[in-house]
Chain A
Amino acid sequence: MLQINNVNTHYGPIQALHDVSLEVKKGEIVTLIGANGAGKTTLMMTICGDPQATSGEILFDGKPISGMPTAQIMRQGLAIVPEGRRVFARLTVQENLHMGAYFRTKAEYEETLEEVLLLFPRLRERINQRAGTMSGGEQQMLAIGRAMMSKPRMILLDEPSLGLAPIIIQQIFQIIQKLRDDGVTIFLVEQNANQALKIADRGYVLENGRVVLSGSGADLLDDENVRKAYLGG
């Protein structure tokens, strides 16, 4: 579904990604793990077209999206939950969700809203509350819900467990699995390698802007190097 072929990305003169190639197939959860500064978020941003890849190509459903402006890429059936949640703090939960369905008709919006609220009952309780007044976990749910409002075929999650309590992290990961079961393809960037690999079908390890390892989630969990580098021995 998403294919990244030999992508290089630069920030000015500095090269952040070196010949990165990976693939996410339909209905999979694929995770990308790596240390701070490995280029995980850069890869995510490159998919979204900001910064643009300097070379290589990115295909979504077989259609090249590298080179499109961000706003257009995000309307192709691809949604991203950006790092650090980034909900609209002074807008209510419902308004946040409405923004997610900006390009859809009212009927579609209402239908999807019902689905998202079923997935996140907590959001229904808080529907008229300002997003900034909710807890971190609730905000993360809102961020995921908002991304779901565009009915994406694929969703990119950038560090959804960032700064959350372990129990909330578990809930979030359960939701991610549920989304996959509903037919959404998921590309998950995580530092929390253990949790991420457990639910992932496949995984890639990124180091200094290069893909150094790939395999099934279980294989990577057992891998000596991965254990040492990311799972604490």
Chain B
Amino acid sequence: MMRQNFYTAFFAAGITLILTCLMVGVKLTSEGTELRVVGATAAQWTWIFGGIAIVFLSQLFRDQISAATAGIPRPNLEAILPAESVRSRLKPWLIAMVIVGLFIWPFMVSRGSVDLATLTLIYIMLGLGLNIVVGLAGLLDLGYVAFYAIGAYTYALLSNYFGLSFWICLPIAALMAALFGFVLGFPVLRLRGDYLAIVTLGFGEIIRILLNNWTSITGGPNGISGIEKPTLFGLEFNRRASDGGTTFHDFMGIDYSSSYKVIFLYLIAVVLVLAVLYVINRLMRMPVGRAWEALREDEIACRSLGLNRTVIKLSAFTIGASTAGFAGCFFAARQGFISPESFIFIESAIILAIVVLGGMGSQLGVILAAIVMTILPELAREFQEYRMLLFGLLMVLMMRWRPQGLLPSKRPHMELK
């Protein structure tokens, strides 16, 4: 036992040595016109070897360490929640309270927090959409951001070229994204698992590269700027009204404040998220929701029951995509500027991480994870450079302690009378 631990420890330390030497130990610096390789300073070497020693010792004594930490209670969210019967009675009240809270809250906090909350809500929408595809239907989609991009560009282009308003474009963007989901779905859904993941990954890149290169229409890497902000029944939130328009503060007879716009955007996001949640909840209780899960569990059994797998997969893909279209349209309206930069692979990865962290298939889990994933990086602003490192650390910790996700899914089920 000890012997085996020694081998692993030695091996792990070796890998750490190689990696740290390459990444931290040697540096390429430019001196004048030449590039020179510079070794680490003595202090850095001390750190490197200190790190290697920690890896070595923790691997060597890992049995003892896990024995010692076994006593530490792990976060048990189940225990915090009240009993099932109490919960179902409290649930409608809680939901009502949360919804009311969501509407009142922005008037009491700073502009920055409202803005951050809006961003979080966008990610919640994306997480919920991808949750249908990955969590319920079990189709690993690594190019989800493409549908987000399609939603955003649909609004940006329609508003730029045809002057259509946000509210008209919102359903159009969702439809466009759904259409693309449908078109992509047809050839791709014959594939399974890894192959599906690779093709969707490719699709995500195709869309991004297309947007990047179709300069005449999309503006290429320069993106599209000056996208119209949403209006409230035609009332604008600008300081000065555009020709023929009325501004919100004039109409209400109050002074102009830029925070109205932020709060208004936030409220739209809340409404959109609630709408998405409502629709998805309904779908999950409908036979098609059950069919998604059945398909994830066993495709052959599904076919043996006469279910058409193509239709079921396509519906999951299309509905997931349309949710991203919604989110994209709103994103474009909020930013006022979009470029292909916003729709890189990392975005797909973050959305997927939200779904996985939340516990596949669980909506509440996805919401929690979206909050964690957007707020943590903001809190850890000083560690901006180490963001990806923290991200990785979070993943490792989750895999170690809660592999099933923050709140693993509990499906709604009917009770026998």
- Show the binding face of A for B, using Cβ within 8 Å: 48, 50, 69-75, 79-82, 86-92, 94-95, 98-100, 102-103, 127-128, 146-147, 150
Residue of A nearest to B311 (CB): A71
Is B298 close to A, CB under 8 A?
yes
Q: Do residues A94 and B303 form an inter-chain contact, with CB atoms below 8 A?
A: no
Q: Do residues A98 and B301 form an inter-chain contact, with CB atoms below 8 A?
A: no
Q: Do residues B303 and A86 form an inter-chain contact, with CB atoms below 8 A?
A: no
Q: Do residues A94 and B416 form an inter-chain contact, with CB atoms below 8 A?
A: yes
The smallest C-beta distance from A171 to any residue of chain B, in angstroms, reads: 22
A128 and B413 in contact, given A88-B298, A102-B287 (Cβ under 8 angstroms): yes
What chain B residues lie within 8 Å of A147 (beta carbons)?
304-305
What chain B residues lie within 8 Å of A81 (beta carbons)?
304
What chain B residues lie within 8 Å of A88 (beta carbons)?
293-294, 297-298, 301
What chain A residues lie within 8 Å of B293 (beta carbons)?
88, 90-91, 95
Q: Do residues A82 and B291 form an inter-chain contact, with CB atoms below 8 A?
A: no
Q: Do residues B294 and A86 form an inter-chain contact, with CB atoms below 8 A?
A: no
Is B277 close to A, CB under 8 A?
no
Question: A90 vs B287: C-alpha distance in the bound complex, in angstroms?
Answer: 16
Q: Do residues B294 and A99 form an inter-chain contact, with CB atoms below 8 A?
A: yes
The smallest C-beta distance from B119 to any residue of chain A, in angstroms, reads: 33
Residue of A nearest to B361 (CB): A90
What chain A residues lie within 8 Å of B300 (beta carbons)?
82, 86
- Which of the residues A74, A75, A102 comes within 8 Å of B291, measured between beta carbons? A102
Question: A89 vs B414: C-alpha distance in the bound complex, in angstroms?
Answer: 18
The smallest C-beta distance from B287 to any residue of chain A, in angstroms, reads: 6
Most buried by A among B293, B306, B308, B309: B306
Residue of A nearest to B293 (CB): A91
List 10 A-B pairs, minimum CB-CB distance, nearest first. A74-B306, A88-B297, A86-B301, A71-B308, A75-B306, A80-B304, A82-B304, A86-B298, A99-B294, A88-B294
Residue of A nearest to B303 (CB): A70
A89 and B297 in contact, given A95-B290, A102-B287 (Cβ under 8 angstroms): yes
The smallest C-beta distance from A176 to any residue of chain B, in angstroms, reads: 17
Q: Do residues B303 and A74 form an inter-chain contact, with CB atoms below 8 A?
A: yes
Q: Do residues A103 and B297 form an inter-chain contact, with CB atoms below 8 A?
A: no
Is B157 close to A, CB under 8 A?
no
Q: Do residues B306 and A94 form an inter-chain contact, with CB atoms below 8 A?
A: no
Could you pull out 27 A-B pairs where Cβ atoms are within 8 angstroms?
A70-B303, A71-B303, A71-B307, A74-B303, A74-B305, A79-B304, A79-B305, A82-B300, A82-B301, A87-B301, A88-B293, A88-B301, A90-B293, A90-B297, A91-B294, A92-B413, A94-B414, A95-B290, A95-B294, A95-B411, A99-B291, A100-B305, A102-B287, A127-B416, A128-B413, A146-B305, A150-B305
What chain B residues lie within 8 Å of A92 (beta carbons)?
413
Most buried by B among A81, A86, A88, A128: A88
What chain A residues lie within 8 Å of B416 (beta carbons)?
94, 127
Question: A73 vs B308: C-alpha distance in the bound complex, in angstroms?
Answer: 11
A102 and B298 in contact, given A94-B413, A94-B416 (Cβ under 8 angstroms): no
Question: A75 vs B305: C-alpha distance in the bound complex, in angstroms?
Answer: 8
- Which of the residues A87, A98, A128, A150 comes within 8 Å of B306, measured between beta carbons? A150
Q: Do residues A102 and B413 form an inter-chain contact, with CB atoms below 8 A?
A: no
- Show the binding face of B for A, using Cβ within 8 Å: 287, 290-291, 293-294, 297-298, 300-309, 411, 413-414, 416
Residue of A nearest to B299 (CB): A86
Residue of B nearest to A74 (CB): B306
Residue of B nearest to A86 (CB): B301
- Which of the residues A69, A70, A91 comes within 8 Å of B297, measured between beta carbons? A91
Question: A100 vs B291: C-alpha distance in the bound complex, in angstroms?
Answer: 10
Question: A181 vs B307: C-alpha distance in the bound complex, in angstroms?
Answer: 28
Question: A144 vs B305: C-alpha distance in the bound complex, in angstroms?
Answer: 11
Q: Do residues B304 and A102 form an inter-chain contact, with CB atoms below 8 A?
A: no
Q: Do residues A86 and B290 form an inter-chain contact, with CB atoms below 8 A?
A: no
What chain B residues lie within 8 Å of A71 (beta carbons)?
303, 306-309
What chain A residues lie within 8 Å of B307 (beta carbons)?
71, 99, 102
The smallest C-beta distance from B307 to any residue of chain A, in angstroms, reads: 6
- Using A87-B298, A103-B306 as known contacts, list a sample of 6 further A-B pairs with CB atoms less than 8 Å apart, ordered by residue number in A: A70-B306, A90-B297, A95-B294, A95-B413, A99-B294, A146-B305
Most buried by A among B290, B293, B301, B303: B301
Q: Do residues A74 and B304 form an inter-chain contact, with CB atoms below 8 A?
A: yes
- Which of the residues A74, A75, A98, A150 comes within 8 Å of B290, measured between beta carbons? A98
Question: A82 vs B299: C-alpha distance in the bound complex, in angstroms?
Answer: 12
Residue of A nearest to B310 (CB): A71
Question: A71 vs B309: C-alpha distance in the bound complex, in angstroms?
Answer: 8
Question: A94 vs B416: C-alpha distance in the bound complex, in angstroms?
Answer: 9
Most buried by A among B291, B293, B305, B413: B305
Question: A80 vs B307: C-alpha distance in the bound complex, in angstroms?
Answer: 13
Question: A113 vs B62: C-alpha distance in the bound complex, in angstroms?
Answer: 52
What chain B residues lie within 8 Å of A74 (beta carbons)?
303-306
Question: A127 vs B415: C-alpha distance in the bound complex, in angstroms?
Answer: 9
The smallest C-beta distance from B134 to any residue of chain A, in angstroms, reads: 15
The smallest C-beta distance from B417 to any residue of chain A, in angstroms, reads: 9
The smallest C-beta distance from B106 to any residue of chain A, in angstroms, reads: 39
Question: A7 vs B292: C-alpha distance in the bound complex, in angstroms?
Answer: 34
The smallest C-beta distance from A146 to any residue of chain B, in angstroms, reads: 7
Q: Do residues A99 and B303 form an inter-chain contact, with CB atoms below 8 A?
A: no
Question: A161 vs B302: C-alpha distance in the bound complex, in angstroms?
Answer: 21
